[in-house]
Amino acid sequence: METTETFESLVRAEFTPKSIFLNTASNGLLPARTVTALQQAALLRAEGRPLTALYEDVEACRTAYARLAGVPAGRVAAGASVAAHTGVIAASLPAGAEVLTADDDFTSVLNPFHVRGDLKVRSVPLERIAESVRPGTALVAVSAAQSADGRIADLAALREAARAHGARTYVDFSQAAGWLPMQADAHDFTASVSFKWLLGPHGTAFLTVPEDFGGLTPLLGGWVAAEQPWDSCYGPVTELARSARRFDLTHSLFTFAGLRRSLELVEELGVAAIHAHDVALADRFRAGLADLGHEPVPAPGSAIVSVPGLGARQPELSRAGIEVSDRAGNLRAAFHLYNTPADVDRLLNVLAG
């Protein structure tokens, strides 16, 4: 774990926000090293130079994400969106299969199961999802941290209930990867975008699958899904990749060039240190809200704080140089490594009027 001094110096060297940015749950800030990598990647295209290095970035990102997720790189697929990954999982289920989900979870985790039209999608409150697994449940799909309000799923209880009933689990870490430690190996499938807490550009999402691929078919795969991609550019792929790369989608090369540097920074700082930093700021905000007479949605241990009834103040806060979100009438503040106690206090002062 980095010392406090090293943590702060690394952050100061990478981020120069022009506002108090408390909106990482929408998208994270780009580190300086990432911006430089994006510019260099664009120049390769502009100057007509070989793009070989950019393909190397894809594999470096896969390997770095695998370390963060706690699985071998061979179990990680590189795609473009969580919705696309969910779609592949949804397509693998037999007609009539029951999928258990959490009420009002993020659409990308849910919608592909609904549009199938022949699955039994059951929705329950997040707090009841583990106890709601039953015989006949084929898959449980849930976000590790809820986008709307930061509530954290009890993944250990869910995993135990799923195993007891022979159900598989699919966890979206989009609002958790980068600040909440991941154990992808504990679940059949996991996914995450990279443009939020992992501080990358838009355009990439990762999927983790079991060693045996969990019965998934690479319906969206093109030439990059082949064991020998450059020998598979024409005609159908004759041999799929022997790893999770068979579920890759055509790579957004500029994005991976930048993301490689972002993931390096996350690893340099350490998820444990980032977690401690982020949650301490969120808890400081919760304490200040109590002093102001406001009660946030209960989400202990989360870096995301959602306050009912205050969402309408988002434009006012933005004018004051504080960026937060309005989600269904709630004010959502998301605290990450580039935020400070002074940022929290400024937000509380403006809310106090």
Domain of 123, CATH number, reads: 3.40.640.10
- Decide the pairing of beta strands 330-334 and 189-193: unpaired
In-domain check, residue 166: yes
Domain of 337, CATH number, reads: 3.90.1150.10
Angle between helices 253-269 and 271-291 (to 10 degrees): 80
Shared domain check, 15 and 108: no
Mean pLDDT for the stretch of residues 24-45: 98
Residue 97 has a pLDDT of 98
Angle value at C-alpha 129, between 198 and 66, nearest 5 degrees: 30
Considering the chain, what percentage of its residues have pLDDT values greater than 90? Answer: 98
In-domain check, residue 301: yes
pLDDT at residue 340 is higher than 50 = yes
Shared domain check, 154 and 9: no
Shared domain check, 278 and 256: no
Angle value at C-alpha 52, between 45 and 198, nearest 5 degrees: 85
Shared domain check, 291 and 263: no
Shared domain check, 149 and 279: no
| Tens of pLDDT, residues 54-102 | 999 999 999 999 999 999 999 999 999 999 999 999 999 999 999 999 9
Signed CA dihedral, 208, 210, 213, 216: sign only? negative
pLDDT at residue 1 is higher than 60 = no
Angle between helices 52-69 and 32-46 (to 10 degrees): 150
Mean pLDDT for the stretch of residues 160-170: 98
Asked which of 268, 286, 303 is the last residue of a domain, the reply is: 268
**Structure tokens, 34:** 């990432």
Shared domain check, 257 and 196: yes
In-domain check, residue 37: no
In-domain check, residue 131: yes
Provide the domain count of the chain. 2
CB count within 10 Å of CB 115 equals 10
**Structure tokens, 317:** 């806060």
**Structure tokens, 194:** 């990279």
Structural domain for 337, as ranges:
4-30+269-352
Residue 330 has φ and ψ, to the nearest 5°, of -100, 145
Residue 328 has a pLDDT of 84
Residue 308 has φ and ψ, to the nearest 5°, of -60, 140
Asked which of 268, 300, 328 is the last residue of a domain, the reply is: 268
Shared domain check, 196 and 81: yes
Tell me how far apart the alpha carbons of residues 21 and 149 are, in angstroms, rounded to a whole number. Answer: 17
Shared domain check, 173 and 264: yes
Residue 5 has a pLDDT of 75
Residue 138 has a pLDDT of 98
Shared domain check, 226 and 215: yes
Asked which of 268, 285, 307 is the last residue of a domain, the reply is: 268
In-domain check, residue 244: yes
- Decide the pairing of beta strands 304-308 and 330-334: antiparallel
Shared domain check, 293 and 260: no
Considering the chain, what percentage of its residues have pLDDT values greater than 70? Answer: 99
Mean pLDDT for the stretch of residues 218-244: 97
pLDDT at residue 182 is higher than 70 = yes
Mean pLDDT over each residue of the chain, to the nearest integer: 97
Of 139, 126, 134, 208, the C-alpha closest to 167 is 139
In-domain check, residue 35: no
Shared domain check, 108 and 237: yes
Q: Is 307 helix (H, G, I), strand (E, B) or coil?
A: strand
Shared domain check, 177 and 191: yes
| Tens of pLDDT, residues 187-206 | 999 999 999 999 999 999 99
pLDDT at residue 4 is higher than 80 = no
In-domain check, residue 169: yes
In-domain check, residue 129: yes
The region of weakest confidence among 111-115, 187-191, 265-269, 325-329 is 325-329
Mean pLDDT for the stretch of residues 17-21: 96
Mean pLDDT for the stretch of residues 249-253: 96
